[in-house]
Structure 1
């Protein structure tokens, strides 16, 4: 059964950013799927490339476990995305602006400590049989710390 870019993207986002469910996230990929983070520094503890569902699942499970202390979740009402189809029916691009609510408590020095934080990124999806065969995720690498 083939899925639309919208269905593939929504399933991926729900499994990852919303649920932090590494098993569900990995199931969005083909068995030989590739998840790439080309802007990740070479010396980063987080890999620039994961190949296959098992590696994607293992790496993301460890990341979600480290991230568990951060209870912030994206504010869906403030966040948004645009999907762009391409001439290749197996490729689509997602432009994403994810907004995390601030804590409402700005710093004494006037810093934006309590302000909303917007994370903008671009993802390029290549799909096969309704699953992600290759995902290239372009974002600010410091977000993975």
Structure 2
């Protein structure tokens, strides 16, 4: 893998992505750090998500996911920053709706996922695996 550094801002995965990354032997060469911001207040105070963004779009939105990723990139000075926010359930009509914010150097994107028919733990696990795959892919990019 390249020399690109990575940081994370996690909400619904509760630190699982960070935990999985540090299980990889060479993680110390690229993983700058991660934060778990589960509450709206922590998203604002730690990551700099705008209160207005939360009020208009809600915590589970593309807009908040991107602001979370921007906050992680700024906090950890990384080349790549990913964030995740979503509804893991088990209750609610939007269970399985997930947004992953991605910043790769100066490019920004947000992926909307819909993981349906799974338990809370399965949704979190599937999201964690997908994020690890994204990180591995981005680190190999030119």
Give the alignment's TM-score, normalised by structure 1.
Answer: 0.31
User: Counting strand residues as a fraction of each chain, which structure ranks higher?
Assistant: 1
